[in-house]
Structure 1
């Protein structure tokens, strides 16, 4: 069970690295425009904010990876719980303010990882 939980934590971390790339580097490119359903004008106007948001997604990914590589099992568990809770909070807020899709993509994956982490 622990290996599955850690695999899901790694998946959540990978998703946040992907979000970082989308928001920091692809926001105004065709892929970013399509994924975020933005016009080129809207994307250009919000590119700095998106890059900032992408950086924060990178911090979430870094925290989850830290939890995965931390050799102290108790501390690793605490790190993963904290950062998964942060991802869930961000996902809930994003779903309430931007798009319900965020709840499924971001918060749900972190919630499942957190549940499996607790069960392991």
Structure 2
């Protein structure tokens, strides 16, 4: 139960990332969150939207896994989240370890422990 709830929380985070990257990237709130100047935000909006779409796929996969009760499906998508978070933390900003990878790792641990 706890593992499923944490997986849904991770899914909700990725829906939030989707909205930020696909719809708010060039808006004041999105620029503030990502500390972007307006010119860079405009130039990189298509790339950000692509990232947002991938975050949506992660959220959809986690939700599907929880709804169907597929532990394997949940773990697959959590591992994807962890890898993406680790890569982002190493290549973009270390805070991504805490915002993306750590929640994914906590959810995966709970699922593996049967919590």
TM-score range, shorter chain: over 0.9
Instruction: Normalising by structure 1, report the TM-score.
Output: 0.93
Q: Which residue number corresponds to residue 25 of structure 1?
A: 23
Pick aligned residue for 2:72 from 68, 74, 78: 78
Query: How far, CA to CA, are the matches of 1:82 and 1:32 in structure 2?
Result: 29
Q: How much has 1:53 moved relative to structure 2? A: 0.3
Question: TM-score, normalised to structure 2's length?
Answer: 0.97
How many Å apart are 1:5 and its aligned residue?
1.1
RMSD: 0.6
* 2-structure distance, mates of 1:100, 1:35: 15
Gaps of 5+ in 2: none
Q: 2: distance between equivalents of 1:5 and 1:61?
A: 15
Show structure 1 runs of 5+ residues with no match: none
Q: Does 1:55 align with 2:53?
A: yes
Distance 2:32 2:26 in 1: 10
Question: 4+ runs of 1 displaced by more than 4 Å?
Answer: none
Q: CA deviation at 1:115?
A: 0.3
Residue 95 (structure 2) pairs with residue 101 (structure 1): yes
User: How many residues are aligned here?
Assistant: 114
Q: Structure 2 CA distance, aligned partners of 1:54 and 1:21? A: 7
